Amino acid sequence: MAVELKGLPKARAKRGPWSTPCAAHDCRACEIRGLTFCAGLDENEVATLSSISRRMHFAKRHIIFQEGDSADVVYNVTKGAVRLFKLTPDGRRQVTGFLLPGDFLGLGSRKGYAYGAEAITEVELCRFERDKLETLFESHRGLERRLFEIANDELAVAQDQMLLLGRKTAKERMASFLLKLSEREELRGGRDGAVYLPMVQEDIADYLGLTIETVSRTISQLKRDGLIRQSSSHEFELLSTEGLEDISEPM
Amino acid sequence: MAVELKGLPKARAKRGPWSTPCAAHDCRACEIRGLTFCAGLDENEVATLSSISRRMHFAKRHIIFQEGDSADVVYNVTKGAVRLFKLTPDGRRQVTGFLLPGDFLGLGSRKGYAYGAEAITEVELCRFERDKLETLFESHRGLERRLFEIANDELAVAQDQMLLLGRKTAKERMASFLLKLSEREELRGGRDGAVYLPMVQEDIADYLGLTIETVSRTISQLKRDGLIRQSSSHEFELLSTEGLEDISEPM
DNA sequence: CGCTTAATTGACACGCCTCAATAAAGGTGG
DNA sequence: CCACCTTTATTGAGGCGTGTCAATTAAGCG
């Protein structure tokens, strides 16, 4: 592969104007109950969780944490979008995931986070200190089991992504990407076939192991082929889910 | 990427001549205590674990489980090597990992394993039924925590691999691969700089997102450059770890 | 409105893939 | 231990998908 050399990691992320720790939040009124790792907890457990959670705001482009930071805080995304990424010393970037409302953020070993996390849009997070959370595990086993479940799901997603990066063409990658995002939106109650892409094409490129030019060209091609339509700058419509599936999983 | 089309998934794996469930095994005499998920358990816990474990043998090329199989058994590799893989409908394969003695096998959600597992060599496994294991969690919290830790580590490894597959050149991939294997052997007490590769080049190619030809050429080049030497068919020597590191993590 | 950032498109280059031929290694039976 | 066959590895020649470079347009934002 001919690699895109971008020079040393530019100050891609400026510390945003604000990152506000807000007052403790009432989890029972949470916008995304049922999606997140709080899902399946009883009233009592949610109340306990509420007592150790804290709402945070981050501005667009704010770096929430860097790869290698000690992993003693975990979050739940309640609003906005986050990208996870890794960098090579010479500045190449691999985006390893995008987080949307309801997603969990902060899995990591005692060696620290294996990836950085950065706000794509203005973001609202529910913050938990890890050791406080682990104290809760003692009395609320379901919480620990839920976290383990999340880690397992993440692992499955990561393996799908390895297949995509190692063995799929640009067109297949793009189709897979759009379909997966669409599925995630459906779980969140979005309209069927409508996909909101909060990230820029550079993010998509770094996620799919491509360049921005190839991403752009591939999107253009999918449009020409009548498989997708762009309703606004960040809003797409999947005109043929079947067609995209045929592309993403070639027989 | 121009993709190697291999035709439909060939009967790559014939059921081996034997897959023997042996009698319950005494974990306390285990070859790989300290490496595996049993690590850090006390005598009492190991004894309990022993009571629910069963030794298994699998012949080379035996498929231990397929992607999608219900994930109600987990294993510990005690001897030999295992490859994990995913397949596209048209037969392209992505190897998502190699397991060596001491490695844990069988992380997966209730949706089933996200990958298949196949014996590369003759393999010996320590088998645990998942629900029996989960019963043990009640009384032995450390075990559950250890599994969660393993899942977290796996996730970090997966993300490294995404960076490799999405953003590294063939030479960088090969150097990274050799170094990582070498590190794993050191943990197992192997000689420094000597690497045993139980897998064939097709496995390496499918792991690194390359073709067998590119793998072969890249190995040849690393030999020419004096960075590695082949002591026997599956045994390599890393002549310059530094040189390989410079290649694998370009500045 | 003016500036900056993001997206698009074309022309060309190149790293890796494809196809093909040959050599080497491994496995099996006598 | 050798003869035979299959599998695996090596190497070359050429093609192609995606990267690179560059110019232009569109979008975002104060």
- State chain A's mean pLDDT as an integer: 87
Does any strand D atom come closer than 7 Å to the Cβ of A171?
yes
Please check whether residues B72 and B44 belong to one and the same domain: yes
Please check whether residues A156 and A184 belong to one and the same domain: no
Please check whether residues A78 and A146 belong to one and the same domain: yes
- How many domains are contained in chain A? 2
Is it the case that residue A22 has pLDDT exceeding 60?
A: no
Which token pair is A173? 């990658």
Higher pLDDT, A28 or A115: A115
Which token pair is A57? 């705001």
Chain B interface includes A90 (CB < 8 A): yes
pLDDT in tens, B14-36: 334 455 555 556 677 777 766 77
Is it the case that residue A141 has pLDDT exceeding 50?
A: yes
Is it the case that residue A21 has pLDDT exceeding 70?
A: no
Please check whether residues A211 and A180 belong to one and the same domain: yes
Q: What is the pLDDT of residue B74?
A: 95
Please check whether residues A151 and A220 belong to one and the same domain: no
Helix (H) or strand (E) segment spanning residue A241: helix A241-248
User: Which residues, 6 or more positions from A47, have their beta carbon under 8 angstroms from its beta carbon?
Assistant: A27, A28
Please check whether residues B189 and B206 belong to one and the same domain: yes
Q: Which residue has the tokens 């997140």?
A: A36
Please check whether residues B218 and B118 belong to one and the same domain: no
Whichever domain contains A241, its CATH number is 1.10.10.10
Q: What is the pLDDT of residue B26?
A: 67
- Single out the residue in A163, A196, A231 at which a domain terminates: A163
Please check whether residues A159 and A184 belong to one and the same domain: no
- Single out the residue in B113, B131, B163 at which a domain terminates: B163
Dmax over Cα atoms in chain A, in whole Å? 57
Q: Which domain holds residue B188?
A: 169-248
Counting residues of chain A whose pLDDT is more than 90, the rounded percentage is 68
Chain B interface includes A183 (CB < 8 A): no
**Contacting residues of A for B144, CB less than 8 Å apart:** 144, 148
Counting residues of chain B whose pLDDT is more than 70, the rounded percentage is 88
Question: Which of A191-205, B16-30, B156-170, B211-225 is predicted least confidently?
Answer: B16-30
User: Which residues, 6 or more positions from B102, have their beta carbon under 8 angstroms from its beta carbon?
Assistant: B32, B35, B36, B76, B77, B78, B188
B8: confidence class by pLDDT, cuts 50, 70, 90: very low
Distance B206 CA to D3 C1' (A): 34
Q: What is the pLDDT of residue A43?
A: 77
CA distance A59 to A45: 30
Q: Single out the residue of B220, B208, B177, B213 nearest to residue B96, CA to CA.
A: B208
Query: Is B165 within 8 Å of A93 when comparing Cβ atoms?
Result: no
B75: confidence class by pLDDT, cuts 50, 70, 90: very high
Handedness of CA B202, B184, A110, A119 (dihedral sign): negative
Is it the case that residue A7 has pLDDT exceeding 70?
A: no
**Contacting residues of A for B114, CB less than 8 Å apart:** 155-156, 159-160
Please tell me chain A's helix, strand, coil percentages from 3-state DSSP, rounded to the nearest 5. 40, 25, 40
Please check whether residues A54 and A108 belong to one and the same domain: yes
Asked if A243 and A250 count as a contact pair (C-beta separation under 8 A), the reply is no
Please check whether residues B129 and B217 belong to one and the same domain: no
Q: What is the pLDDT of residue B13?
A: 37
Please check whether residues A122 and A218 belong to one and the same domain: no
- Single out the residue in A100, A130, A163 at which a domain terminates: A163
Please check whether residues B96 and B203 belong to one and the same domain: no
Is it the case that residue A117 has pLDDT exceeding 80?
A: yes
- State chain B's mean pLDDT as an integer: 87
Whichever domain contains B102, its CATH number is 2.60.120.10
Mean pLDDT of B75-99: 96
